[in-house]
Amino acid sequence: MNFDANLDNYFDEDVELTSETDQGGIVIPKQTCEHVQYVRLVEGFSPLNNKQCIDCENTIENWLCLSCGEIHCSRYINNHGEGHWLFTLLTDEKYNIGHCLTISLQDLSVWCYPCKSYIKNVRLIPLMKHLERIKFGLLSTKENQNQVNSNAITKSVVKRNLENPSTIIAVQDLSLLDELEKTDLLSYCYTLKFRSASIDELVCLHSSDYVNMIVLAEKNHLNISNNHFDLQYDETTFSEARISAGITIDVIQNVLKNHINGFILLKSPGHRAVRHHGNGTSIYNNVALGINSVLMEKSKCKERKRSLTLYDSNNSLDMQGATPIENAICHMIHILSPASAVDHRINCKASPAIIDTNNNKIQIERVLVIDLTCEHGSGIQSIYYESNQVFYISIHGDNHQAEWNYRECGKNDGLGYTMNIPLSSIDSIDDKDYITIINELVLPITKTFKPELIVVCVDFHVQTLTPLCYAWIIEQLSLISNSKVVVAFDGNLSSISSTVTYVHIEQLSLISNSKVVVAFDGNLSSISSTVTYVQTVLSVLIGKLSTINNDKWENNINVHSDVRQKIDLIRHEHRKFWPCFT
């Protein structure tokens, strides 16, 4: 897109605001701005009072460019701010937006030139707080800079001087980040810079009609009413959902690329969203978007077309409408041909991840998703129900939904690659029950399937389970192979209580070379009762906690009767697909 086209796009609809045309009135800032994600926000500032426009030395009403830090006067003076944007727009060859964001030094409101509107965006909150403290002299410039760098929205790396960081972490909730910073756990982690998923990334999984509807509602603050699905949302839901999706994609890709662990804690849950629509609080399916960004689609061998139709009945071959001689020839070919390939479920061979030389992106062929949330991940199951590349296991409450029944094992190529474990006793089972399920169902499948990536969805809502039980599950999965494990927290993390118990753990060496990503694919509200779970899981990921040598985790014969019954039924159902259950 050239410069003239950009100008036409920006100015062909609205009258330019000037001191003559602006008649005042109520100002309602946009809650979403598509340009924020492309702007590299300036990080260093000096005190802001009495700053002059660098073009005309005006000091009355000036604006600070959030891309380069230059100060220019407003449209009510000499309009050098807009002139600066137009000049940078002319020279911007990457995004064609120029230095489009500017903040008033008078009232700290933010203006976007392409949007022609004041804006509010969650990415700008830390920067605005930083400027507010500088403007009113609450902190020194150096202290403010440290404050900004500690913020989860703007920093790209927490500890740059780490020799061997073991975990990538992304925390979308500042209150939770503050709690984690009270410990030393973050000193072992890298933090990725947040971004929103692009429309191109979203439509790789979701239908274009659905994505366009949500993005339009996000930009224009429209209400969504649809008879086919129900979404629970407020004014920030859709923008936060795109950020959650972008975070998940980036963490999964970086885990495979850099061979380190990961932990993702998100505001927007996603594991119930399907291809064509969302579900409840799940807008985009973050886990599936992350998986699809690294999953290499297997090419299927094309079968040779036959001129005659064959059918196999009781190990004998006949040709419909064939003569006895033709039938004999067909039978001879069948006898002399090499034996049919052994079922691929029996001989899954581990293969290293492949790097796509075209875009330098790592691609893998097998992913295991283990859903430990109370709610069934209906979206993930629906998306991969016919795939033999993604094995989906769900432990959930039994609400007698037909598609969540233990007999639902997949379809077509995906037959045998879905395992539902519905428990009517979900509210009363404890550590020993989950340990037995993991030992007798999950670990045998993991060893046989040999996934290259493991995604674990958690929400910590099974209050009868201890933090150490989750830690044991994740550690066991990481020890099976060199798989990368993503734990997706599908819970609720805002509203943290002031008192949080931190479990002191001795420094231990890393248990193995396995890589683990803990991805919180949930809603960050009301985390007061689960912070200890987050800290314990993170301790396992960074190697500060091990549960392997504890006798508590051995199989226990005194498990809940419902658990024992379901394990036996599921083993019998999957015996036909997987030899580990014979």
Average pLDDT of every residue of the chain = 75
Whether 295 has a pLDDT exceeding 90, the answer reads yes
Q: What is the mean pLDDT of residues 15-27?
A: 49
410: confidence class by pLDDT, cuts 50, 70, 90: very high
Output the pLDDT for position 190. Answer: 84
- 192-228 pLDDT per residue, tens: 778 889 888 999 999 988 998 998 888 777 778 777 7
Output the pLDDT for position 511. Answer: 30
DSSP structure class, residue 440 = I
- Which residue reads 């509107």 in tokens? 117
Same domain, yes or no: 132 and 187: no
Beta bridge partners of 458: 489
Contact of 66 with 103, CB cutoff 8 Å: yes
Same domain, yes or no: 417 and 360: yes
Classify each residue of 474-491 as buried b or exposed e, where b means 16 or more C-beta atoms within 10 Å of its C-beta: bbbbbbbbebbbbbbbbb
Q: How far apart are CA 468 and CA 473, in angstroms?
A: 9
Output the pLDDT for position 331. Answer: 55
Same domain, yes or no: 247 and 206: yes
DSSP structure class, residue 340 = P
Output the pLDDT for position 149. Answer: 37
Whichever domain contains 226, its CATH number is 3.40.800.20
Whether 279 has a pLDDT exceeding 80, the answer reads yes
Same domain, yes or no: 231 and 365: yes
Q: How far apart are CA 401 and CA 423, in angstroms?
A: 12
492 domain residue, yes or no: yes
- 303-347 pLDDT per residue, tens: 444 433 333 333 444 444 555 655 555 555 555 544 433 444 544
Whichever domain contains 79, its CATH number is 3.30.40.10
523 domain residue, yes or no: yes
Whole-number Cα distances in Å, 450 to 351, 446, 578: 9, 6, 13
- 91-102 pLDDT per residue, tens: 877 778 889 999
Whether 529 has a pLDDT exceeding 60, the answer reads yes
428: confidence class by pLDDT, cuts 50, 70, 90: confident
208 domain residue, yes or no: yes
Among 13-22, 71-80, 144-153, 485-494, whose mean pLDDT is lowest? 144-153
Phi, psi dihedrals of residue 441, rounded to the nearest 5°: -120, -55
Last-in-domain residue among 122, 149, 176: 149
Question: Phi-psi bin for 165: left (phi > 0), alpha (psi -120 to 50), beta?
Answer: beta
Residues 6+ apart with CB under 8 A from 549: none
Same domain, yes or no: 36 and 141: yes
Q: How far apart are CA 69 and CA 574, in angstroms?
A: 62
445 domain residue, yes or no: yes
478 domain residue, yes or no: yes
Same domain, yes or no: 489 and 538: yes
The residue that leads in pLDDT, 48 or 386, is: 386
Same domain, yes or no: 135 and 215: no
Domain boundaries, position 573:
167-296+351-581
**Number of domains composing the chain:** 2
- 223-258 pLDDT per residue, tens: 787 777 888 888 888 988 999 999 999 999 988 888
Output the CA angle 309-314-318, nearest 5 degrees: 30
Same domain, yes or no: 247 and 134: no
Q: What is the mean pLDDT of residues 260-288?
A: 90
Tokens linked to 418: 């879905």
Same domain, yes or no: 264 and 126: no
Q: What is the mean pLDDT of residues 171-182?
A: 84
Same domain, yes or no: 443 and 544: yes
Same domain, yes or no: 102 and 232: no
428 domain residue, yes or no: yes
Q: How far apart are CA 81 and CA 105, in angstroms?
A: 12
Last-in-domain residue among 149, 175, 198: 149
Output the pLDDT for position 159. Answer: 37
Beta bridge partners of 516: 485
Classify each residue of 20-55 as buried b or exposed e, where b means 16 or more C-beta atoms within 10 Å of its C-beta: eeeeeeeeeebbbbbbbbebebbeebeebeebebeb
Same domain, yes or no: 143 and 191: no
3-state secondary structure of 458: strand
337 domain residue, yes or no: no
Beta bridge partners of 457: 371, 488
Q: What's the predicted TM-score (pTM) here?
A: 0.64
403 domain residue, yes or no: yes
Output the pLDDT for position 515. Answer: 67
404: confidence class by pLDDT, cuts 50, 70, 90: confident
Whole-number Cα distances in Å, 56 to 51, 82, 96: 12, 14, 27
Contact of 567 with 440, CB cutoff 8 Å: yes
- 452-507 pLDDT per residue, tens: 889 998 888 887 889 999 999 998 888 875 566 666 666 555 433 333 333 322 22
Residues 6+ apart with CB under 8 A from 524: 172, 173, 176, 265, 266, 267, 491, 492, 493, 494
Output the pLDDT for position 121. Answer: 78
Last-in-domain residue among 92, 119, 149: 149
353: confidence class by pLDDT, cuts 50, 70, 90: low
Whether 441 has a pLDDT exceeding 90, the answer reads yes
